[in-house]
Structure 1
Amino acid sequence: MAREYQLNRPSSAPSSGIDYRAELNDEQFAAVTSAPGSALVIAGAGSGKTRTLTYRVAWLLDQGVDARRILLLTFTNKAAREMTERVRELVPHDLSAMWSGTFHSIGNRILRRHAEEIGLTKAFSILDRDDQKSLMGGVVASLEIDTKVRRFPKSDVLASMFSLVENTGVSLSDLIDQRYPYFIDWEEEIIEVHKRYTQRKLDTNSVDFDDLLVLTLKLLKEHPDLLALYQKRFQHVLVDEYQDTNSVQCQWIDLLTGGGASVMAVGDDAQSIYSWRGADMGNILSFPERFKDCRVFKIETNYRSVPEILDLSNAAIRANGARFEKDLRSARGQKGVKPAMVALEDPSTQARFVCQRILELRDEGIPLEEMAVVYRAHFQSLELQMELTRHDIPFGITSGLRFFEQAHIKDIAAFMRLVTNRRDETSFKRLVQLLPGIGAKGADKLWQAWVAGGWAKSEEIPDWKEALGSMKPPKKAVRHWEQLGYILDEMTPNGEFARPSDMVYSVLEGMYDEHLQTTFDNYENRRSDIEQLMSYADGFEDILEFLSQLSLLGSADGQPTGDKTEPDTEKVTLSSIHQAKGLEWKVVFVIWLAEGQFPNGRVIEADDVEMMEEERRLFYVAVTRAKDELYMSYPLINPKSYSGDVIQKPSRFLGDFPKSMVEEWKVSPSWDSSPDEDWGDVDEPF
């Protein structure tokens, strides 16, 4: 037996040569260099949270910790990549063995290793929301639910309901009672759909994104040997954005660190704004009590905003009761301008004001890309979009469709998913419906024939021409059906999987290019997208890894990508506040700050303290996006055709800070019909 021998690292200077004392401020340094154990880092907005986590990983490596003993959990792949790259730039250590990524990607990694333990194979497919809807639609259809008398919830709604059940631990009955009382008469049917949907996923060797978390938790709970294996491996667990964790993610961390591992959770309770998708702020508030001898570090030095903006944000959040005490201090020092509070006549006037001010700021030298308009809900940007268009001011909206969620990209992925997982009903049906003469019913019949022929359960990669040849497609599709067999065989030469990029090429040139030409009016743009997908796939050798990344990048990041073929241009950003979290601009306009608009009317009606405090945290996130200038506006009148004009009160959040912290602007509208003319006078301050 070979003897294992390990060289000890010299105890002199850190191998990276980093001067941590010089690189970090006092607050960051205390957290980064803290001794192993339990630590909660409350990192305020713009305080260098990513820097703190990055240097913490570097510090651990410099202390001799093996990279394979570190687990870094984030909420976006972008954050994981950014932090890993920063660490790689800082230290000379090999990071290939370190696990870093989103909860979903780490869950996928664990499940791929132990899929058989939960009734799956390693080649399981990951369903995105569209796939879920398709599979769920089939389940609903199989139940033959009579919806003629009253409406049954659509697949999108059902998927949201089931996701909340999985991520919060609440029963489906309680969820319907609390959040969906209008579906109470359908409770039995909804429960049955959930039951059958769960079984259908297992039957088709598929999981949805919630399963990546839930099944991993189930695996760790029900298999103590596997839990012990991962507890032993991960001696240092670091968690980003801990305030956004849900019940399942919280249990993950508690289990993985239950064997004595060190844990450092970094987050900001004041920026917890995702309870509607299952996040539980109680996880971060209770952290010091749940972890023995936990130390709490506060990072309150803000590098983003001028003091005037921070003073307002500090005062605003103090109205909340459930929070960690902290006060952000500006590192910039220099005096800035006070935030502006602007009351406008109506939504159209508000839009005109924002547009005029944007043009004035651009003339003053501030680029459009350094300006953003944020709002509580996307519909509140309607008038503004129209006005920006009238003034020829370019703008981008953060809710654009993500690249990997586009229909043509998902079509290509369906081919690859089917060749790796012949039980993937969703991909099979999506793929065959690309052929002429095959609709939803035809696709279902072909799927039944596929299953009856035993091809779905075949352990070996089939001869696709032979397999498809045993089935009878519609007459219109015969030629294309034969071509499909050739393409699938080309994707699996000699019973092996081709490289992912070669698979994309086979699909595109074999039949999909013709589909693009006959189906879409922007054929060239969509073909360019697929060529870009091919280029991305060229970095992968393993098709299962590629498909996992394709699904995770498409739906787990939550980062908008928009149209990849659109040239980069200077433009103003329009964004909901939820999507603006983590971003920053020199100038920020927060619009529609009126009661019933922000805070949301439903929250006011519910008279729920926790819900209102989350709305206030949302306001806090909005104002802390601004670096130099902040404009807060609201329309005094909201025209509503069905009930006449509604007089609006300013948001209660505008009363949470002293009026001396803002400048009240008086706008005197006096415009004509030409958007090129100056339309009014802005007196600053009032």
Structure 2
Amino acid sequence: MAAPVPLIHAVTPSRLELAASLNDEQRAAVEAGEGPVLVIAGAGSGKTRTLTWRVALMLERGVPPEALLLLTFTNKAAREMIRRVEELAGGFADVGRMLGGTFHHAAHMLLREHAGALGFSTDFTVLDREDSRDLMATCLAERKLKSDKRFPRPDALLELVSLATNLQQPVSQVLVERKPQMLPVAPEVFATARRFQQRKAQMHLMDYDDLLAHLKRLLEEHPVIRADLTARFQGVLVDEYQDTNRLQGDLVDLLVGERRNLTVVGDDCQSIYSFRGAEFTNIIDFPQRYPGCGIYPLTRNYRSTPQVLRLANAVIARNTRQFPKALVSDGAPGPVPQVVPTRDVKGQAAFVTERVLALRAQGQRLESMAVLYRAHLHSLELQLELARHGLPFRVRSGVRFFEQTHIKDALAHLRWAHHRADELAFKRLARRLPGVGAASTEHLWTALSSLPPELPLGDALLHPDVQAHVPRKAAGDFQRFQSLMAALTRGGPRGPGALLADVLAAREAQEESDAATRRTEDLRQLQEFAERFEDVPRFLSDIALVSEFSAQGALAGEPPDDVLTLSTVHQAKGLEWASVFVLGLVDGRFPMSQATRSPEAEEEERRLFYVAVTRAREALWLVYPHTSLPREDGRLLLTPSRFLTELPQGPDTVCDTLPPPEPDGPIRVRELGPDPEPGF
């Protein structure tokens, strides 16, 4: 076998090496010699440019395209990188022969060649998410489980199995450490998960996670095949390395082999996805796994003003586990970031709305602004305020809070309890009952409509004429529905907060799962929001305003690019806007209370805050409510996020802080409730 072509020579500089578009740091990373290379690419520092130039330089120096493996996290990123490489190196290399794409794409291509060694047919079928869910549902049906509200749905079981695969841990360990709500039904969960794996093997099926797991097994169990692949790939390059999980990290190590010609690009300060399996130690311990590696920091930021970067540097400096670096701006000065205390979440929403209106009046487009927060439920008040002012907005990778199915279901209880003639509300609730179909719903409504309107609603649902149309298999659920509606309409008028408390209690008693926990958190937030309304009609009309505004925008054909973006910080990673607002900066919400229980978790929350502030190009507002909304026992005093109190003061200050408003009622310290799930 011919000796491989060295990746990069120390020879006469090529036109690629002398490219004026690379700064000194980027050029050093692009021209780094053979062996392991770690490029620490700070936010906005041109990591994609650096990685694609390094690939192009390898090709120009004579490395065959098929000898390079480029791994990314999204197909979009892969297409963009390959397009850029084609522009740079297309004149002297057939870039189409390079294996580039997501980890799953690369694994799929390699397994097509070698699946037979694992006992699979080479024409095995790859399951998409829907197919996997259907197969899991079939495995559940085979178990012939009795109806149990606590037993997780197929999607939740898929998430558990997927997490175990990517963490390289037993399902039992993941269940105990990350899904304790499944413990009461653990034996059946394990049995169903085992059956799921058996059925896939029997039918020569692989899901996306299997592609990676089986490739690892292939490389570990078949040394001849591994030797062939490590000889083929003279260079392996990985983008967004800080987001790799343990399985992906292991695969990279196996594919690199003894040659160790590996280039990874990432930013340890933007490692924020541990909740879905990302392994921070992959990047932070890279020098220990690859002794003698070259470390090349990219610190020149092409996105943000010096003022934004001064604040960002101050934020992340508090983390002890990191590759130290200080971002420097390549742009003109801008306004100093502002810390803005507001009276409560209503005042927080009002401040953002007023500022957005002012910016738009000054000529700034809505598409250049974004509002970021820790979880989608923290945008509840803001969504309502924006709708009141006719400001179009999109919730990035999420449904508007009031348009979520479980929120609309909860509101339907209040609608029907308040207005017995609300046919749509009743039919929505009836169709949610297992075993009640469209025909039964119509019969039930007809029977209810014929009863005297003065008959209490709870009694009406128990009337023989109504009970006659309740399907036998729905009897238990209908009884619980009747009990809840009786409670909602008993004892005279009550406020919407009190009514939602009953709805919430009924839901919590019926179902235990990951998805149910998230829905419960949303309903708890809705209840807290409802407590500031004295009567149900005003509450429901305000909620309806948001839906009506959304529908009008759709009918009017609102230009998709002229809307304000609302997003969780996790979903905003990799994006940027001229003006950014970060909401809800109080301890217990950002950072989440559970994250303060370990140094590692708190440091990840700080990295998340760092990601939030580095999304801003020019203007940045950090907003927090000083008190909660008023209740019968007064306002609750909230503590500003430790990430704000950590910022330097005095002559070294990196932001302007407005004085907190005076509260208008008695105050007591607030103990925040359970944390929401990360908002995706």
TM-score by length of 1: 0.69
Q: Distance in 1 between matches of 2:39 and 2:94?
A: 27
Q: Paired residue for 2:163? A: 164
Decide whether the 8 Å contact of 2:5 with 2:63 is kept in 1.
no
* Alpha-carbon distance in 1 for matches of 2:253, 2:5: 33
Q: What are the equivalent positions in structure 2 for 1:231-246 lying under 5 Å apart? A: 231-246=230-245
Match in the other structure for 2:636: 646
Contact in 1 for aligned 2:341/2:625 (Cα 8 Å): yes
Counterpart CA distance in 2 for 1:642 and 1:135 is: 51
Aligned residue runs from structure 1 range 92-491, under 5 A: 92-148=92-148, 151-332=150-331, 334-399=332-397
* AA partner of residue 593 (structure 2): G
The secondary structure found in structure 1 opposite 2:95 is: coil
Deviation at 1:124, TM superposition (A): 3.1
Asked if structure 2 preserves the Cα contact closer than 8 Å seen for 1:228 and 1:259, the reply is no
Residues 315 and 646 of structure 2 are in contact (CA less than 8 Å); yes or no, is this contact kept in structure 1? yes
Q: Is the 8 A contact 2:626 2:660 kept in 1?
A: no
Which residue matches 2:624? 634
Secondary structure at the residue paired with 1:653? helix
Given the alignment, which residue of 562, 575, 578 partners 1:586?
578
1:586 counterpart letter in structure 2: A
Q: How far off its partner does 1:337 sit?
A: 1.1
Amino acid in the other structure paired with 2:102? T
Once the 2 structures are TM-superposed, how far is the Cα of residue 140 of structure 1 from its aligned partner?
A: 1.4
SS at match of 1:257: helix
* Residue 666 (structure 1) shift: 5.3
- Deviation, 1:578, is 0.6
- Per-residue deviation at 1:643? 8.6
Matched-pair contact (CA < 8 Å) for 2:236–2:261: yes
Taking the aligned partners of 2:186 and 2:632, their CA distance within structure 1 comes to 34
Shift of 1:585: 0.7
Paired residues of 2:306 and 2:333 also in contact (CA < 8 A): yes
Deviation at 1:314, TM superposition (A): 0.8
- What is the TM-score normalised by the length of structure 2? 0.70
Equivalent pair of 1:40/1:296 in contact (CA under 8 Å):
yes
Deviates more, 1:568-577 or 1:583-592: 568-577
Instruction: Write the mapping of 1:662-677 to structure 2, written as runs, cut at 5 A.
Output: 662-665=655-658
Which one of the candidate residues 605, 608, 612 is aligned to 1:618?
A: 608
Whether the aligned pair in 1 keeps the contact of 2:16 and 2:53 (CA below 8 Å) is no
For 1:84, the equivalent position in structure 2 comes to 82
Deviation by residue 1:516-567 (Cα, 9 ceiling, x = unmatched): xxxxxxxxxxxxxxxxxxxxxxxxxxxxxxxxxxxxxxxxxxxxxx99x985
Q: CA deviation at 1:81?
A: 0.8
Counterpart mapping for 1:68-79 below 5 A: 68-79=66-77
Does the 8 Å contact 1:300/1:327 carry over to 2? yes
For residues 280 and 646 of structure 1, do their structure 2 counterparts lie closer, same or farther at Cα, with a shift above 3 Å needed? same
User: Is the CA contact 1:133–1:155 (under 8 Å) kept in the aligned structure 2?
Assistant: yes
The code of the aligned residue for 1:283 comes to N
1:38 aligns with 2:16: no
CA apart distance, 1:335: 2.4
How many angstroms apart in 1 are the aligned matches of 2:58 and 2:369?
39
Shift of 1:19: 5.1
Task: Check conservation: 1:16, 1:90, Cα contact below 8 A.
Answer: no
Equivalence for 2:535: none
- Name 1:499's counterpart in structure 2: none
Q: Distance in 2 between matches of 1:255 and 1:640?
A: 58
> Which letter does structure 2 place at the counterpart of 1:131?
D
| Partner of residue 645, structure 2 | 655
Equivalent-residue separation in structure 2 for 1:260 and 1:293 (angstroms)? 13
3-state SS, counterpart of residue 259 of structure 1: helix
CA distance in 2: counterparts of 1:17 and 1:612, whole angstroms: 46
User: What does residue 25 of structure 2 align with?
Assistant: 27
SS of equivalent residue, structure 1 residue 258: helix
Q: Which residue of 1 aligns with 2:54?
A: 56
- Residues 164 and 171 of structure 2 are in contact (CA less than 8 Å); yes or no, is this contact kept in structure 1? yes
- What's the C-alpha RMSD, in Å, of the aligned pairs? 2.9
Confirm or deny: 8 A CA contact 1:231 1:261 kept in the other structure. no
How many angstroms apart in 2 are the aligned matches of 1:143 and 1:303? 56
Looking at structure 2, the residues matched to 111 and 42 of structure 1 have their Cα atoms a distance apart, in angstroms, of 31
Q: Alpha-carbon deviations, 1:164-193, whole Å to 9, x = none?
A: 111112222222222222322322211111
Asked whether the equivalents of residues 15 and 62 of structure 1 are also in contact (C-alpha less than 8 Å), the reply is no
Q: Among residues 554, 568, 590, which one is paired with 1:598 in the alignment?
A: 590
Task: Provide the rounded CA distance (Å) in 2 between the counterparts of 1:601 and 1:99.
Answer: 43
* Cα 1:100/1:663, change in 2 over 3 Å: same
- What does residue 513 of structure 1 align with? none
SS at match of 2:621: strand
2:173 match: secondary structure: helix
Q: Distance in 2 between matches of 1:116 and 1:170?
A: 26
- In the TM superposition, residue 206 of structure 1 has moved relative to its aligned partner by 2.1
Compared CA separation, residues 188 and 638, structure 1 to 2 (3 A): same
Does the C-alpha gap of structure 1 residues 13 and 320 become closer, same or farther in structure 2, counting only changes over 3 Å? closer
The one-letter amino acid of 2:626's match is L
Note if contact 1:232-1:259 (Cα within 8 Å) is conserved in structure 2: no
Return the offset for 1:642: 10
2-side partners of 1:210 and 1:369: how far apart?
36
Amino acid at match of 2:656: E
Unaligned runs of 5+ in 2: 400-436, 438-553, 663-680
Q: CA deviation at 1:341?
A: 0.4
CA contact 2:36–2:293 (8 Å) conserved in 1: yes
Cα separation, partners in 2 of 1:35 and 1:356, compared to 1, 3 Å: same
In 2: Cα distance, 1:165 partner to 1:363 partner: 51
The 8 Å contact of residues 43 and 49 in structure 1, kept in 2 or not, is answered as yes
| Superposed displacement of residue 263, structure 1 | 0.5
Q: In the alignment, what sits opposite 1:424?
A: none
CA distance in 2, matches of 1:326, 1:577: 22
**Structure 1 residues 12, 194: closer, same or farther in 2, change over 3 A?**
closer
Given that residues 371 and 585 in structure 1 are in contact (C-alpha distance below 8 angstroms), is that contact kept between their aligned partners in structure 2?
A: yes
Aligned partner of 1:346: which letter?
A: D
Distance 1:569 1:319 in 2: 37
**CA, structure 1 residues 106+656, in 2 after alignment: closer, same or farther (shift >3 Å)?**
same
- 1:121 shift after superposition: 2.9
8 Å CA contact 2:5, 2:62 repeated in 1:
no
SS at structure 1 position matched to 2:262: strand
Q: Structure 1 residues 581 and 265 mapped into 2: Cα distance closer, same or farther (>3 Å)?
A: same
Q: CA deviation at 1:646?
A: 3.2
CA contact (8 A) 1:14 1:62 kept: no
- Whichever residue aligns with residue 171 of structure 1, its letter is P
- Paired residue type of 1:186: V
Q: Using the TM superposition, give the Cα deviation of residue 84 of structure 1 relative to its aligned residue in structure 2, in angstroms.
A: 0.9
Q: Which residue of 2 aligns with 1:682?
A: none
Structure 2 counterpart of 1:568: 560
Distance 1:645-1:109 versus aligned 2 partners, 3 A rule: farther
User: What amino acid is the match of 2:604?
Assistant: E
Question: Quick one: which amino acid aligns to residue 339 of structure 2?
Answer: M
Q: C-alpha displacement at 1:152, in angstroms?
A: 1.1
Using the TM superposition, give the Cα deviation of residue 281 of structure 1 relative to its aligned residue in structure 2, in angstroms: 0.7
Q: Could you list the per-position Cα deviations for residues 399-457 of structure 1 after superposition, in whole angstroms to 9, with x for gaps in the alignment?
A: 159xxxxxxxxxxxxxxxxxxxxxxxxxxxxxxxxxxxxx9xxxxxxxxxxxxxxxxxx
Deviation at 1:110, TM superposition (A): 1.3
Shift, 1:667, TM fit: 8.2
1:597 is matched by which residue type in structure 2? R
**C-alpha contact (below 8 Å) 2:346/2:629 kept by paired residues:** no
1:639–1:668 Cα change, 3 Å: closer
